[in-house]
Amino acid sequence: MTELKNDRFLRALAHEPVDVTPVWMMRQAGRYLPEYRASRERAGNFMGLCGNPDMACEVTLQPLERYPLDAAILFSDILTIPDAMGLGLYFEPGEGPKFEKPVRTEADIMALDVVNPEADLPYVLDAVKTIRRELGGRVPLIGFSGSPWTLATYMIEGGSSRDFRRAKQMMYDRPELMHHLLDTLAQSVIRYLNGQILAGAQAVQIFDTWGGALSHNAYREFSLRYLEQIVKGLIRQHDGRKVPVILFTKGGGQWLEAMADTGADALGLDWTTDIGRARARVGDRVALQGNMDPTILYASPERIREEVGQILASYGKGSGHVFNLGHGITPEVDPEHAGAFIRAVHELSAEYHGQ
């Protein structure tokens, strides 16, 4: 077991004492960094980066060279599982991910097999191994996957969607067919995340990006049910340490108690939920991650620092908080503003820890 030089992130997730609140950013390796854009240009395209373990390692480490972050997150994409199922993932400039072969019929869905990450996604597992080696214990490495519901929306719609018309039509008209797809995806996510853990990921996050688009009852039936299935199927102890699981449902603030019931170690919050109220609702059952509005990074460093202070004050004293944005950092953010954000978290949070 490689000794971790900085384990604040894992300690906070376990509600153990920390000196300052740990911080990382969703999409911290991304287009806001000029060094990332240079790497992507060398790779030719986004999937060229994801599919090359050495380049995926390079861009994973780039933000850690700039900032005193408390965790690294694997550079990959949430849609690698459907791509491994043969749907043909590609990216249109300015339009996001698309699939050459969306699944629209019963025959399409019944033809899908559960993914075997060792055979179908070896480049991801190789990237995890490479990143762990190159990190040398600096900070923990986070692995991740998209949630079954989120993956299903992209697979059925063929890409991003504003109203999820096709996915919701299938969900309401053919619930048994949607459940078959979601179960196939949940089994795939379990294998995929367990593969990442065995390869060296020290924590995992499930991105339920579109769970908040569902009604109250539909969320519980078509998203939360499968998040719980995944949590129960994951390796929770490896390499002499507990492997924490973080659930992040964007727009999911109304379901925090039910999400805590899944057995996850932490819940990610977007910026629409007050973190102090969230803490009062879930207590010490789970840690909380979040939840600054990423667009505030367009504001001045002084205003960013003020917002950080307000969120820290709302959470209050004690461990169990991992500071993050409420969603991914956006491409137009000035890297200096991201640095100001991270410095503010460390500088302002010390008073909330210790005696």
343 is in an annotated binding site: no
* Residue of 77, 126, 261, 293 with catalytic role: 77
Q: Which of 31, 66, 138, 166 is catalytic?
A: 31
- Catalytic residue at 36? no
The single residue of 36, 67, 154, 219 carrying the catalytic annotation is: 154
User: Is 254 annotated as a binding-site member?
Assistant: no
Pick the catalytic residue from 40, 138, 281, 285: 40
The answer to whether the annotation marks 29 as part of a ligand binding site is: yes
Catalytic residue (one of 8, 11, 27, 132): 27
Q: How far is CA 188 from CA 78, 104, 118, 183, 206, in A?
A: 13, 19, 12, 8, 13
- Say which DSSP state 108 is in: H
Q: Would you say 321 is a known binding-site residue?
A: no
Distance CA 256, CA 254 (A): 6
| Backbone φ and ψ of 222, nearest 5° | -110, -10
The encoded tokens of residue 99 equal 């699939």
Residue 192 counted as an annotated binding residue: no
7 is in an annotated binding site: no
- 272 marked as binding residue: no
132 labelled catalytic: no
Give one DSSP letter per residue of 159-211, joined into a string: B--SS-HHHHHHHHH-HHHHHHHHHHHHHHHHHHHHHHHHHT-SEEEEEETTG
Q: What is the DSSP letter of 327?
A: S
Q: Which of 181, 269, 264, 165 is nearest to 224 (CA)?
A: 264
- Does residue 225 carry a catalytic annotation? no
Q: How far is CA 153 from CA 28, 179, 278, in A?
A: 25, 13, 28
Give the Cα separation of 353 and 355 in Å (integer). Answer: 7
The answer to whether residue 40 is catalytic is yes
Query: Is 21 flagged in the annotation as binding?
Result: no
303 belongs to an annotated ligand binding site: no
Active site residue 274: no
Binding site: which residues?
A: 27-31, 77, 154, 209, 327
> What residues act catalytically?
27, 31, 40, 77, 154
**Numbered residues of the known binding site for substrate:** 27-31, 77, 154, 209, 327
